[in-house]
A = this chain, B = another copy of it.
Amino acid sequence: MIRVALIGSTGYTALEVARLLLAHEEAELTVATSRADEGKPLSEIHPSLAGRCDIALQPFDPAAIAEQADVAMCCLPHGASAESVRDLATAGVRVIDFSADFRLSSVPLYEQWYGVTHPWPERVGNVVYGMPEFFGDEIAKADVVANPGCYPTSAIMPLAPLVRAGMIQTDDIIIDSKSGVSGAGRSPKLGTLYCETNESISAYAIASHRHGPEMQDLIHRIAGKPVDVLFTPHLTPMDRGILSTMYARPVLQDNDTVQSVTSRLMDELRKTYRDQPFIHVVDHLPATKHVVMTNHVQMTVRVSGPNDQPGRVIIVCAIDNLSKGASGAAIQNMNVMFGIDQMMGL
Interfacial chain B residues near A292, Cβ < 8 Å: 199-200
> Are B282 and A50 in contact (CB-based, < 8 A)?
yes
Answer whether residue A221 sits at the interface, using C-beta atoms and an 8 A cutoff: no
Answer whether residue A206 sits at the interface, using C-beta atoms and an 8 A cutoff: yes
> Are A48 and B202 in contact (CB-based, < 8 A)?
no
- Quick one: which of A194-216 are within 8 Å of B by CB? 194-204, 206-207
Answer whether residue A238 sits at the interface, using C-beta atoms and an 8 A cutoff: yes
Interchain CA distance A201-B190 in the complex, whole Å:
21
* Per-position 1/0 for A219-244, Cβ under 8 A of B: 00000000000101011111111010
Interchain CA distance A29-B310 in the complex, whole Å:
42
Answer whether residue A68 sits at the interface, using C-beta atoms and an 8 A cutoff: no
Interfacial chain B residues near A174, Cβ < 8 Å: 174, 247, 312
Answer whether residue A164 sits at the interface, using C-beta atoms and an 8 A cutoff: no
Answer whether residue A176 sits at the interface, using C-beta atoms and an 8 A cutoff: yes
Interfacial chain B residues near A178, Cβ < 8 Å: 178, 201, 234, 236
> Are B193 and A287 in contact (CB-based, < 8 A)?
no
> Are A195 and B182 in contact (CB-based, < 8 A)?
yes
Knowing A174-B247, A195-B12 touch, does A287 contact B186 (C-beta < 8 A)? no
| A174 CB to nearest B CB, Å | 5
Answer whether residue A52 sits at the interface, using C-beta atoms and an 8 A cutoff: yes
Interfacial chain B residues near A182, Cβ < 8 Å: 195
Answer whether residue A289 sits at the interface, using C-beta atoms and an 8 A cutoff: yes
- Quick one: which of A231-287 are within 8 Å of B by CB? 232, 234-241, 243, 245, 247, 280, 282, 284-287
Knowing A230-B312, A237-B237 touch, does A196 contact B245 (C-beta < 8 A)? no
Answer whether residue A77 sits at the interface, using C-beta atoms and an 8 A cutoff: no
Stoichiometry (number of copies):
4
Interfacial chain B residues near A47, Cβ < 8 Å: 282, 284, 286-287, 290, 298
> Are A188 and B186 in contact (CB-based, < 8 A)?
no
Interchain CA distance A180-B194 in the complex, whole Å:
10
Which residue on B lies nearest to A280, using beta carbons?
Answer: B51
| A250 CB to nearest B CB, Å | 13
> Are B201 and A285 in contact (CB-based, < 8 A)?
no
> Are A207 and B302 in contact (CB-based, < 8 A)?
yes
Interfacial chain B residues near A312, Cβ < 8 Å: 174, 207, 230
Answer whether residue A107 sits at the interface, using C-beta atoms and an 8 A cutoff: no
Interchain CA distance A238-B305 in the complex, whole Å:
31
Interfacial chain B residues near A204, Cβ < 8 Å: 285
Which residue on B lies nearest to A206, using beta carbons?
Answer: B302
Interfacial chain B residues near A318, Cβ < 8 Å: 202
> Are A280 and B207 in contact (CB-based, < 8 A)?
no
Interchain CA distance A335-B240 in the complex, whole Å:
31
A194-B196, A199-B241 known; 8 new pairs, CB 8 Å cut-off, are A52-B296, A178-B234, A186-B190, A202-B287, A203-B285, A206-B304, A207-B302, A236-B236
Q: 20 A-B contacts, Cβ less than 8 Å apart?
A: A12-B195, A23-B23, A48-B294, A50-B282, A50-B290, A178-B236, A181-B194, A188-B188, A192-B193, A199-B199, A199-B289, A202-B285, A202-B286, A207-B311, A207-B314, A230-B311, A232-B245, A234-B245, A236-B236, A237-B237
